[in-house]
Structure 1
């Protein structure tokens, strides 16, 4: 456990050193500008616009970081030949993958947390007072974090056997398809033959990001059920474990010579 923690801490420091968290500045400026615009052109929908824009930005910024930092977690270590030094010590490959995942996961969770604070500050700026329905915003943020953790695990899986460019393409494709998972399942139920089989396979193999997207509900102040929170948590943990296990199996068999 100590070795995993050390790798995770080093990964977190590298992410900060690579200016990953600097996107928070861009996010804050974007949200501030949007809040100013909302005040000028909208009447009565300030909360709706700020939450929709803010949480969507949190999700997209996070996914971009998860993919473009995640694809380099393994490749960068191989390129710098630091991986050989790490693995020459009593560090197993599964510990290396797990530590890398936890380090980037911590970075993304911190990123999303600071961003959601920015969303609430923007709400205060446009004159919105705290309401009980704002708890839905916190639930939406939690689901976004789960989404980012899944994307991190998926990106690590691809990077364990592929080049950074292909890994990024594969990961982005998974995100796009996963965002349409519910539509794909509906299409699969109506289709027959090869197209129906392919749609079903794609819908159930990729992560169901549709179920994790409750930004619209949060923006309209609709409650997020406890059952959905528990289901999404269990589903996300299971998917992450499967993706990480696959990444470890592939990486264990990969020749690093």
Structure 2
């Protein structure tokens, strides 16, 4: 019940954030622009709309998760309201999870809204909807849940600016894991190769949630991969949250 109360308060706070509406406006504009771009471009217009649309939902969703998530804990500390909250019968882990679920709820509504705009644009252009578009949006949301956990983790021990840089770096590296593997193969030093493999093992492969190319181009995907990708996201999110709770429990606010 305590987690639910904090989550609802966090949701109300996030939904009033001007940054959220600014990003949503740009996301909606990018989605609308995808149709104009398809008309002007040479090639398969439907694929252009789908590609630009899904990329817009993903990019602006990540920006929402990072820019709002990195300030959730810091604001409470900066305004000294953290002392009032923790003086009540609320455990630190309950406070942190409440913040997490509140932002996840916010991102769910924003992703749903962006997804509906995208699906309407696709429907207007093609006259039909594909179920696989919903799967692409679902896995974008799963990735956003993980990025939210990462943003909150960094906000437990850093300022919003540094937390945003760390979170964005985490996101970019997660989508460039193939480049890290290439670097490992080209590295001659055994010690350096082991160190890089250690980094590769710790950092997530966010490409596991990226089905945009396959779905846009109508490529076949093994249904089991959907299941394992969702499980991968859940396990990694739980790991990040556990780490965040551990750090937050040990933090001294005096």
Shorter-chain TM-score category? over 0.9
Q: 1:123 to 1:49 in 2, by over 3 A?
A: same
TM-score (norm. length: structure 2): 0.93
How many residues end up aligned between the 2 structures?
252
Instruction: Tell me the distance in 2 between the aligned counterparts of 1:104 and 1:246.
Output: 18
Matches within 5 A, 1:129-144: 129-130=127-128, 134-144=130-140
Instruction: Tell me the distance in 2 between the aligned counterparts of 1:249 and 1:135.
Output: 40
The alpha carbon displacement at 1:190 in A equals 5.2
Asked whether the equivalents of residues 21 and 111 of structure 1 are also in contact (C-alpha less than 8 Å), the reply is no
Match of residue 247 from structure 2 = 250
Match of residue 216 from structure 1 = 213
Match of residue 83 from structure 1 = 82
Deviation string 1:48-100 (CA, Å, 9 cap, x unpaired) is 11111011111110111111111111100011111111111100000001000
Matches within 5 A, 1:178-197: 178-189=174-185, 191-192=187-188, 193-197=190-194
Match of residue 117 from structure 2 = 118
Instruction: Tell me the distance in 1 between the aligned counterparts of 2:133 and 2:105.
Output: 20
Choose from 168, 171, 174 the match for 2:170: 174
Matches within 5 A, 1:14-25: 14-19=13-18, 20-25=20-25
Matches within 5 A, 1:42-57: 42=42, 45-57=44-56
The alpha carbon displacement at 1:34 in A equals 2.5
Match of residue 35 from structure 1 = 35
Asked whether the equivalents of residues 116 and 141 of structure 1 are also in contact (C-alpha less than 8 Å), the reply is yes
The alpha carbon displacement at 1:22 in A equals 4.4
The alpha carbon displacement at 1:160 in A equals 0.8
Asked whether the equivalents of residues 174 and 206 of structure 2 are also in contact (C-alpha less than 8 Å), the reply is yes
SS of corresponding position for 1:28: helix
Choose from 139, 144, 150 the match for 1:148: 144
TM-score (norm. length: structure 1): 0.92
TM-align CA RMSD: 1.6
The alpha carbon displacement at 1:189 in A equals 4.6
SS of corresponding position for 1:171: helix
The alpha carbon displacement at 1:182 in A equals 3.1
Q: 1:186 to 1:211 in 2, by over 3 A?
A: farther
SS of corresponding position for 1:222: coil
More off after superposition, 217-226 vs 175-184: 217-226
Deviation string 1:147-177 (CA, Å, 9 cap, x unpaired) is 1111111111111112222211111111111
